[in-house]
Amino acid sequence: MFEFFIGKKYHKTKKSLSFINVINKISVVGIAIGVATLIVVLSVFNGFREISTTLMTEGEPHLTVQTANDSEDISKYLKKSEFVDLFYKFEEGKVLFGNEEHFEIMNLILIEDSIFRSKQLIYNKLSEYDTIFYGGNLAISFYSAIEMNLQVRDFVQITSFESLENSALTFSIPDITTLQIRNIYFSRNASLFKNYIFASSNLASEIFPDRNRNTQSIAVFLINLENANEFKNQLSAKFPDANIKTWNDNHAQILNVMKIEAFFAYLLLSLIIAVAAFNILTSLTMSVQIKKKDIAILRSLGVTRKGIRNIFLFEGLLNGIKGTSWGFLLGLAIYFVQKYFQVYKLDSSKYILDAMPVSISFWDLPAIVLMSVFLSFISSYYPAKKASLTNIIESIKWE
């Protein structure tokens, strides 16, 4: 393709006006800085988003399924599925929880007894603080234990809100269940850490005696939480009457905010590339001006207007591609240095991380490269088009 051959030669050769060379270099450096900045900033956004997602979902089911009639069939299906790591039936409700000295309002999750006893919940989903686990009774968070001065083997009382409401209406004494703390768990998920306690579902009829149990809830943990939506679709197709929610649905707002934030960062930082690419327009316009005679000669040799346009498009695009390549390598280098050598540290006494998190999303890289090349193309197009309109006779006479 002769257009590329000529465009590449023009790109490589130093221009007779050193001013143009300087502008060319500024555009390449500017694009490189823009691309590198985009890669680094977006990888930091991704890093923080991954950490936030981990924190948000720690101990929380990846899917919750509510069903009236299909619970056994769904359980069988979940057991066979290759996506599923763990699932259990559960019940939940608000309770008043405490001892003689302190009372707190908590969400009580009653987990299928076999799961609760086998420690799978604790082992898989939460960081176990206390290794003593006898099964049967109650697991509370480390945070609650400190707040309420509780420890393993202490006895606590639990009263459901439903029982409190009932007693208020009937002027009777509420049902109080006494349980022994058998486990204290640690979680980085703030809401789980502060507001949740866990017990076996064997206690369901005792704590929530008057509850209608027509609908059953199933918590599902997947091997990879990113598959939640895909698995939800699969499950919905199979069990259309079931009400299924993913962790994405539960945190949709905050996840959307993070996505919008990253998108606007992408747009704003693309402005750096746009400004740098504008220099391509300037230098290429001057290059076209000083090459008018060459253009006329090429036209006299049979190059079409489109061919002339392509030659200068290639010249401009090669500047853009050069800057993009350097920026790409620089951005990746900074990313890998931070990922593996953690150059930018965070104060671990203040934050749960000891270094700034970085993560590259697969689609970010082509999006950045395409944006950079697109902006270079736009900047090259006007001067290239102008070049194609050169008058042969007038330019050949210009000697």
Is the Cβ of residue 136 or residue 307 nearer to other proteins in the bound state?
Answer: 307
Least spacing, CB of residue 24 vs other proteins, in Å = 15
CB of 322 to other proteins, least distance (A): 18
The verdict on 336 binding other proteins (CB under 8 A) reads no
Q: Would you say 10 or 87 has its CB closer to other proteins?
A: 10
Per-residue binder mask for other proteins (CB under 8 A), 7-36, x = binder: --xx--x-----------------------
Least Å distance between CB 392 and other proteins? 5
The residue (of 72 and 394) whose beta carbon lies closer to other proteins is: 394
Q: If DSSP states are collapsed to H, E and C, what string results for the chain?
A: CHHHHHHHHHHHCCCCCHHHHHHHHHHHHHHHHHHHHHHHHHHHHHHHHHHHHHHHHCCCCCEEEEECCCHHHHHHHHHHCCCEEEEEEEEEEEEEEECCCCEEEEEEEEECHHHHHCCHHHHHHCEECCCCCCCCCEEEEHHHHHHCCCCCCCEEEEEEHHHHHHHHHHCCCCCCEEEEEEEEEECCCHHHHHHEEEEEHHHHHHHCCCCCCCCEEEEEEECCHHHHHHHHHHHHHHCCCCEEEEHHHHCHHHHHHHHHHHHHHHHHHHHHHHHHHHHHHHHHHHHHHHCHHHHHHHHHCCCCHHHHHHHHHHHHHHHHHHHHHHHHHHHHHHHHHHHHHCCCECCCCCCCCCECCCCCCCCHHHHHHHHHHHHHHHHHHHHHHHHHCCCHHHHHHCC
Nearer to other proteins, 201 or 388 (CB): 388
**In the complex, least distance from residue 12 CB atom to other proteins, rounded to whole angstroms:** 8
5: contact with other proteins by CB under 8 A: yes
Min CB(291)–other proteins separation in Å: 9
Is the Cβ of residue 4 or residue 142 nearer to other proteins in the bound state? 4
Stretch binding other proteins (CB under 8 A), from 5-13, 91-99, 114-122, 345-353? 5-13
Show the tokens assigned to 373. Answer: 């090349």
Could you say whether residue 396 binds other proteins (CB under 8 A)? yes
Between 31 and 296, name the residue whose CB sits nearer to other proteins. 296
Task: Name the token pair of 381.
Answer: 């197009």
Contact call for residue 392 and other proteins (CB under 8 A):
yes
The least CB distance from residue 348 to other proteins, in Å, is: 58
Q: Smallest distance from the beta carbon of 286 to other proteins, in angstroms?
A: 16
Among 6, 280, 368, 384, interactor with other proteins by CB under 8 A: 6
Q: Which is nearer to other proteins, 174 or 307 (CB)?
A: 307
User: Which residue's CB is nearer to other proteins, number 249 or number 294?
Assistant: 294
- Residue 188 sits at φ, ψ, to 5 deg, of -90, -5
Distance, in Å, from the CA atom of 37 to the CA atom of 31, rounded to the nearest integer, reads 10
Closest of 186, 187, 195, 217 to residue 204, by C-alpha: 217
Could you say whether residue 85 binds other proteins (CB under 8 A)? no
Nearest approach, Cβ of residue 393 and other proteins (Å): 5
Q: Which is nearer to other proteins, 341 or 398 (CB)?
A: 398
Is residue 378 involved in binding other proteins (CB under 8 A)? no
For other proteins, the closer CB: 237 or 301: 301
Interface pattern 279-308 for other proteins (x via CB under 8 A): --------------xx--xxxxxxxxxxx-
Determine the size of the site formed for other proteins (CB under 8 A). Answer: 23
**Does residue 391 come out as left (phi exceeding 0), alpha (psi in the -120 to 50 range) or beta?**
beta
Q: Find, among 80, 86, 190, 97, the residue nearest to 140 by Cα.
A: 97
Q: Is 2 in the site for other proteins (CB under 8 A)?
A: yes
Q: Which residues bind other proteins (CB under 8 A)?
A: 2, 5-6, 9-10, 13, 293-294, 297-307, 392-393, 396, 399
